[in-house]
Amino acid sequence: MTATITPTPSERLLGGRVVVTGGTRGIGESIVRAFLAEGADVVFCGRSDSAEAAALVATGHATFIAVDLADVAAASDLVDAASKILGGIDVLVHCAAIFPASRIESQPLSDWQAALQVNLTSGMQLVQSALPHLVHSSNPRIVMVSSITGPKTALPELSAYAASKAGLEGFVRAAAMELAPQGITVNAVSPGTILTAALANGFGPEGVALAIQKIPAQRIGDPQDVANAILFFALPASSYITGQSLIVDGGQTLVELF
């Protein structure tokens, strides 16, 4: 009898070709690290280099490309460069996002348009550009990083961000229906409050402590929590799941005032 060999976690995406936007810090950096740990080769982008990006490149299985997705041509340029570096694309993860804050009555149209371009429109452009490569993959996956802000909750002064994320989830559902016959799954992951360096600096110790009190899990999410969910949607085992949005928030959106 031949023994059954169960792959270790580091072999589950061995040789997988992955593209991640917004991968230089925070949640995006954790996503890149998660794929590298599973044996994938990753091309990731950001508007500028960082110490975190250099450390990822130093692994020998990651390539950084400086890209500003506010440029309408950037998404297709990124996909073209990544496909040449990787020899194809199996997984596309769109994590890049901006969140200009202003009240509606004083919100510059340029801020609104920039948020929609980076957070939403570039997601469509990335998918459109990656499709010719994904159709040749044996494990084609698209995962969008959404948010609970917009689809589920709201924050004042973040109307552009909220609109872009709500739109992103609508796009995910429509794209999932269109691409399912080709075996391509399209899903979203919607983080709640995640303890990135930017959030820690913005909230401060007192703000972080207050946030913890409002989350049923009694902790703020770690970027790795989001990366784990992204990885789940990228694995072959999730091939029958598409058009879904997985909330990763420790129960944050379950709280009801009483």
Q: What is the pLDDT of residues 186-201, one digit of tens each?
A: 999 999 999 888 878 8
Q: Give me the active site residues, please.
A: 161
Residues 43/12/241/18 CA torsion (nearest 10 deg) = 10
pLDDT for residue 41: 97
> What distance in Å separates the CA atoms of residue 114 and residue 45, rounded to the nearest whole number?
18
All domains in the chain, ordered by first residue: 11-192+223-250 (3.40.50.720)
pLDDT for residue 207: 86
Considering the entire predicted model, what is its pTM?
Answer: 0.93
pLDDT for residue 66: 96
CB burial of residue 234 (10 Å; 0-12, 13-18, 19+):
buried
| Residues of the chain below pLDDT 50 | 1-7
pLDDT for residue 205: 86
